[in-house]
Amino acid sequence: MSVIPESHADILNSKGFAHVATIGPGGEPQSTPVWFGTEGGNIVFSLTTARQKYRNLQADPRLALSITDPENPYRYLEVRGTVTEFRPDPDNSFINSMAKKYMGVDEYPFHQPGDVRVVVVVQPLHCTSMG
């Protein structure tokens, strides 16, 4: 991740939440905390296709996300980027891996019948950091 400063790259391996900000249909901002991971230079997180955030990103793939260091709340990353892919997760393998990372359990415990999940792949384009 060339835009991520080496001094803050460790935050990407933390159990911090990424607060993802998108633009809604009326131009209003929307921000939601999500579990996240990294994949070959990209940031990845899971959404259901019924969520407003999914519709926002389909309409405008630009987003910003901030991740606070769980060990030091005065240290953070802010990343701006673009969604490059919505990858289907029909067997919930990605969200299950996030449940393992964040909760230490093998299966995502909040799955609702009928949920259709996708993995959102974000290419970081700009980053700021503090702390």
Reduced to 3 states, what is the DSSP secondary structure of residue 69?
Answer: strand
Report whether pLDDT(2) > 80: no
Going by C-alpha positions, the residue among 41, 96, 40, 34 that lies closest to residue 67 is 34
Contact 12, 67 (CB under 8 A): yes
Write out pLDDT tens, residues 12-61.
999 999 999 999 999 999 999 999 999 999 999 999 999 999 999 999 99
DSSP assignment, residue 47? E
Domain-wise residue ranges, the chain? 6-130
Reduced to 3 states, what is the DSSP secondary structure of residue 33?
Answer: strand
Contact partners, residue 120, CB within 8 Å, separation at least 6: 44, 45, 46, 47, 57, 83, 85, 86
Q: List the CATH code of the domain at 6-130.
A: 2.30.110.10
Residue owning tokens 């899971």: 46
